[in-house]
Copies of this chain bind each other. A is one copy, B any other.
């Protein structure tokens, strides 16, 4: 019996954005709930020694690939002018929301932040954007922004990132079904197949 799919994501990651738009459908089709877990992709790269090899040919392909997935999913996407994004404050804000309100608020808050970053080209590190996204998810923005730099928030984000690495993650999004890691937006179908088999 599979109780949970864990979705480790970073707002800075385009493929995390694309995957995030599919989590509700995945939960519905599989009957398994998805727990959204904000972590820090930069921290994962640092801990594992992994990185994204970004030769020009791959960058060109990726821009088109992201558009094709967005078309397939029927969701909007626009590569941010700030690309690549810094997301330390964003991921801390999400972590603060978990601390203040629990896991359940993450999907709506993260969806607002993903949309700000990957559709509206907003600066998701800015307090004003974080506050607006919190409001969009019916959360108090001031409390979340006020908790971004709290040591407990920093520690919690670090702990989530270290947990993901300890369980085998090396990139984002990282989805877990128990011990099984599924890396990338492009592994959602494989994960779904896996969950169906494991029933």
Where the two chains meet, the residues of A that have a C-beta atom closer than 8 Å to any C-beta of B are 48-53, 55-58, 60-61, 64-65, 68-69, 71-72, 165, 168-171, 180-181, 183-184, 186-187, 189-190, 193-194, 197
Find chain B residues with CB under 8 A from A193 CB.
68, 72
Q: Are A187 and B65 in contact (CB under 8 A)?
A: yes
Instruction: Enumerate 17 A-B pairs (CB-CB under 8 Å) in ascending A order.
Output: A48-B56, A49-B55, A50-B55, A52-B53, A53-B53, A57-B168, A58-B170, A60-B168, A64-B180, A64-B181, A65-B183, A65-B190, A68-B193, A68-B194, A72-B190, A184-B186, A186-B187
A166 and chain B: residue at smallest CB distance: B57
A57, B169: Cα distance in complex, Å: 7
Query: A55 is contacted by which of B56, B58, B72, B170 (Cβ under 8 Å)?
Result: B170
A99, B122: Cα distance in complex, Å: 55
A50, B52: Cα distance in complex, Å: 10
A72, B156: Cα distance in complex, Å: 37
A61, B174: Cα distance in complex, Å: 11
